[in-house]
Structure 1
Amino acid sequence: MRYRRVLAWTLAAAAALAAAPPSAAAATAARTNCPRLSTKLDWYGDNRAHLQQVIDERGSCSGHGQHGQVPVAAFDWDNTVTKNDVTDATISWSLRHDKILRPARWRDTSKWLTKEADTALTKACGTDVPVGAPLPTSTNTRCTDEIFEIREDGKTMSGAAAFAGEWNHRRTVPQYAWVPQLFAGHTVAELRSYARKARSEALAAPVGSTRTLGTHTVPAYVRYYDQQRDLIRTLQRAGFDVYIVSAGSEPVTEEWSRGVGVDRAHTIAIRSVLDRRGRITTWNEGCGNVPASQGEAIPYIDGKRCWINQEIYGVEGAAAWQRQDRSHRITVGGGDADTDVTFVDDATGAHLVLNRNKSEIMCRAYDDADGRWVINPMFIEPLPQKTDPYPCSTSAYNEPDGGKGPVLRRDGSVVPDQEDTVY
């Protein structure tokens, strides 16, 4: 297990900081020299100013970095740093270039795959191709459709549930875990090469363009958000350790994250267990007290907190699932969906949310319990205003058993329903 740890406050450093606070003049000078977010890029309202204030107050330019504390920022990837999903772009490219290898049994790819999904995939993809050989998904529309429908909606083309059984719905979702499992038999280097080719294709496609995948219409393009790239680089210049934490496949995310200056060591996503030949298996590495499995603990909702605690702060065992003290929490968190809500809420400086009308995270954001939530419309093709209030008081919270419940504040009070006002 490779741990990525940041330096903790030491008693001596804290004492030194308390004994010799910077003068007002020194503090002002430090902030004047602090790296600045570009004023040429549009942010909603005063969001840029809020983020700049956190950079000024928490970054090394404020003097904090001199006393042992390295501030951390963590961002989701898909639809947070980029417009559109880079995992889907890689799946699309791979299906159009016959890169999915036929498994001996489709049910072996996921512990939760249903008999109906196994039957649908077997019928659609056939058994003529030898086990371990590429499926002709570029020409076999039925096979492509079944694979993508299961990935996209967790259902077969006939509408049957593709996954069933028990799992913690705040730690994993089978159709997300299924993505790296689809690439079982490939090496990490091969998957990275597919991601690079998909990346070149998606960046070259015009904004707003689509393509046909089987009978599905999917986005053909992906774009880095200029504002997020600028934010990440400004944070790095100000002494922050910046991480990407994604529920996508790690080799895929790594190929994209380098485009914003985040290296592999700072990219956390679903990490596949490799076999003795170095090939991807249908097993994923675990987190906290959850061992390697077929997807029980991926970076998803509470799973993102676990992976951050484990990989960045070195928290081990069951404690990795728990909210840590302020010195072991990120300063800035950014996301766009309910899968990000726990780690973004853990941030101590700013909780940045791109509004995609996802109920749980938007309830937290609009409630703004600590006054540090920063809500921004998507920078490309933002959604229109959601006309109905978010059902925060009744059904916005994603329960571990898959049910829905009210969103609660830390004191146990219920978050009231919230209107959508930033769009």
Structure 2
Amino acid sequence: MRIRHTLAPALAFAVTATLAAAVPANSAPATPTARHASCPQLSKSLKWYGTNRDKLQRTIDERGVCSHPGLAHGHGQRPVAAFDWDNTITKNDVTDATLVWSLKHDKLLRPARWRDTSKWLTPAADRALTKACGTDVPVGEPLNTSTNTACADEIFSIRDEAKTAGGAEAFAGTWNHRRTVPQYAWIPQLFAGRTVAELRSYAAAARTRALKAPIGSTVKVGSHTVPAYVRYYDQQRDLIRTLRRAGFDVYIVSAGSEPVTEVWSAGVGIDKHHTIAIRSVLKHGRITYENQGCGGIGDNKGEAIPYVDGKRCWVNQEIFGIKGAKAWQQQDFGHRIALGGGDADTDVTFVGDATGAHLVLNRNKNEFMCRAYDNADGRWVVNPMFIEPLPRKTGAYPCSTAANIEPEGGFGPVRRADGSVVPDQRDSVYGG
């Protein structure tokens, strides 16, 4: 886990600035004139929906060594691909898998006051957690969540539903709904007092368990039944491998906890310097309740995590070296990713910023699917989930009225870049 900005983004900014000086921001990508041995190919033995493999291959050929042979020798700007992690590269959520394992092995430390763990935690949630988890365990010592199912249930209810087990709202107050969601920011805050190495070890143990669990298996957490298994998607492994062979710089950008995501991203050959997620501020080497910020927002209690527009900010800041408030804005062609992939509304902004292909795994998320099916630039690539895909959504996505996540909360119409409203869309790419 990186504690501060690394050298890698500065180097990326330098090469990107060189490209921007040489190539107009609105220039079209090169088109390969012939396919030859320097054009890495996606595996034809792995199943993609329809012509999706060809659509992705087109971007690989346009932006990679096939059209820019110098990339193979370190010449020129490397194109960038960025992917969400949970339910994009893997089936199921690795942060949840780590939390479940930690609850079953008493790895969370008792806070002095539950309300300290999140600036938005409600009095009702504070009371519910205090009652369920008790006060017998000394502050800073492990909670016995493996045997105290009420405590485990309360914690997981708040993480999963943003409500207490009794149904009360767990978070309240004001936040930008396109920059954060309290229950996501709460996960690394739950591990306050632990070291990064300890959290990584929990993620590694959870990974071993989840990869061994049969596909479709479940596990109980209090009153909740959740997936027990996680699988890497073979198609995504192959896509990442092919992109890297083609000269792409490949990043993960996740709304999960960064140490957890780093453990999993190593399984597809992506190192911690190319893994971006929620970064906890450390004190004396231990995780605190604060997170690092983005786009001119300093250390904070979760106001600027990689979530919706926050993912764009973190991509711009960490990959392209764009500082301050400008990092929240869409950049010119030379300072944007070539290929982006995700599965949920939290990914819609950064995936939409991609200039070559926008890969969407269909999980019936309104804003994301509205933009995907509208296909404004003709480069959206929609694919069912590769494992246990969802059936066709009943009814239309409410694009024209209530699919866009509004910054102040609530939902509004999805609009194109020119301000026009996206009409309601029907689900057309789904599982059997």
TM-score by length of 2: 0.94
Give the drift of 1:60.
2.3
Alignment of 1:149-168 (within 5 A): 149-168=157-176
Give the drift of 1:199.
0.0
Cα distance in 2 for partners of 1:32, 1:368 equals 32
Structure 2's unaligned 5+ residue stretches are 24-28
Q: Are residues 53 and 316 of structure 1, via their aligned partners in 2, closer, same or farther at CA, if it must alter by over 3 Å?
A: same
Cα distance in 1 for partners of 2:278, 2:292 equals 8
Cα distance in 1 for partners of 2:265, 2:402 equals 34
Cα distance in 1 for partners of 2:208, 2:37 equals 39
Q: Which residue of 1 aligns with 2:243?
A: 235
Q: What is the identity, as a one-letter code, of the residue corresponding to 2:56? A: L
| Structure 2 contact 19–334 (Cα < 8 Å) conserved | no
2:353 is the counterpart of 1:346: yes
Q: Which residue of 2 aligns with 1:144?
A: 152
Q: Which residue of 2 aligns with 1:28?
A: 34
Q: What is the identity, as a one-letter code, of the residue corresponding to 1:397? A: N
2:64 is the counterpart of 1:56: no
Cα distance in 2 for partners of 1:409, 1:349 equals 18
Q: What is the identity, as a one-letter code, of the residue corresponding to 1:327? A: G
Cα distance in 2 for partners of 1:267, 1:68 equals 23
| Structure 1 contact 146–157 (Cα < 8 Å) conserved | yes
Q: Are residues 11 and 156 of structure 1, via their aligned partners in 2, closer, same or farther at CA, if it must alter by over 3 Å?
A: closer
Q: Which residue of 2 aligns with 1:8?
A: 16
Q: Which residue of 2 aligns with 1:127?
A: 135
User: Number of paired residues?
Assistant: 414
**1:99-126 Cα deviation digits (max 9, x unpaired):** 0000000000000000000000000000
Q: Which residue of 1 aligns with 2:316?
A: 309
| Structure 1 contact 13–68 (Cα < 8 Å) conserved | no
Cα distance in 1 for partners of 2:151, 2:176 equals 29
Alignment of 1:208-287 (within 5 A): 208-275=216-283, 277-287=284-294
**1:183-238 Cα deviation digits (max 9, x unpaired):** 00000000000000000000000000001111210100000000001000100010
Give the drift of 1:11.
6.7
Q: What is the identity, as a one-letter code, of the residue corresponding to 2:419? A: G
Cα distance in 2 for partners of 1:210, 1:11 equals 49
2:336 is the counterpart of 1:336: no
Instruction: Give the alignment partner of residue 173 of structure 1, picking from 181, 186, 196.
Output: 181
Q: Are residues 413 and 65 of structure 1, via their aligned partners in 2, closer, same or farther at CA, if it must alter by over 3 Å?
A: farther
Q: What is the identity, as a one-letter code, of the residue corresponding to 1:376? A: N
Q: Which residue of 1 aligns with 2:400?
A: 393
Give the drift of 1:28.
1.4
Give the drift of 1:33.
2.6
Cα distance in 2 for partners of 1:249, 1:12 equals 33
Q: Which residue of 2 aligns with 1:18?
A: none
Cα distance in 1 for partners of 2:92, 2:68 equals 38
Q: Please state whether the residue corresponding to 2:82 is helix, strand or coil.
A: strand
Q: Please state whether the residue corresponding to 2:175 is helix, strand or coil.
A: coil
Q: What is the identity, as a one-letter code, of the residue corresponding to 1:63? A: H
2:49 is the counterpart of 1:44: yes
| Structure 2 contact 86–93 (Cα < 8 Å) conserved | yes
Q: Which residue of 2 aligns with 1:407?
A: 414
| Structure 2 contact 176–408 (Cα < 8 Å) conserved | yes
Cα distance in 2 for partners of 1:138, 1:92 equals 10
Q: What is the identity, as a one-letter code, of the residue corresponding to 2:59? A: V
Alignment of 1:49-128 (within 5 A): 49-63=54-68, 65-66=70-71, 68-128=76-136
Give the drift of 1:70.
1.1
Give the drift of 1:64.
6.2
| Structure 1 contact 65–239 (Cα < 8 Å) conserved | no
Q: Are residues 284 and 11 of structure 1, via their aligned partners in 2, closer, same or farther at CA, if it must alter by over 3 Å?
A: closer
Q: What is the identity, as a one-letter code, of the residue corresponding to 1:102? A: R
| Structure 1 contact 9–68 (Cα < 8 Å) conserved | no
| Structure 1 contact 181–283 (Cα < 8 Å) conserved | yes
**1:131-164 Cα deviation digits (max 9, x unpaired):** 0000000000100000000000000011100000
Q: Which residue of 2 aligns with 1:190?
A: 198
Instruction: Give the alignment partner of residue 208 of structure 2, picking from 200, 211, 232.
Output: 200
Give the drift of 1:62.
1.5
**1:331-356 Cα deviation digits (max 9, x unpaired):** 00000000000000000000000000
Q: What is the identity, as a one-letter code, of the residue corresponding to 1:421? A: S
Q: What is the identity, as a one-letter code, of the residue corresponding to 2:309? A: D
Cα distance in 1 for partners of 2:87, 2:383 equals 12
State the identity as a percent: 73
Q: CA RMSD in A?
A: 1.6
Q: What is the identity, as a one-letter code, of the residue corresponding to 2:77? A: Q
TM-score by length of 1: 0.96
| Structure 1 contact 59–65 (Cα < 8 Å) conserved | no
Q: Please state whether the residue corresponding to 1:8 is helix, strand or coil.
A: helix
Q: What is the identity, as a one-letter code, of the residue corresponding to 2:263? A: E
Q: Please state whether the residue corresponding to 1:211 is helix, strand or coil.
A: strand
**1:399-421 Cα deviation digits (max 9, x unpaired):** 00111100000000000000000
Give the drift of 1:12.
10
Q: What is the identity, as a one-letter code, of the residue corresponding to 2:52? A: N
Give the drift of 1:290.
1.0
Give the drift of 1:128.
0.2
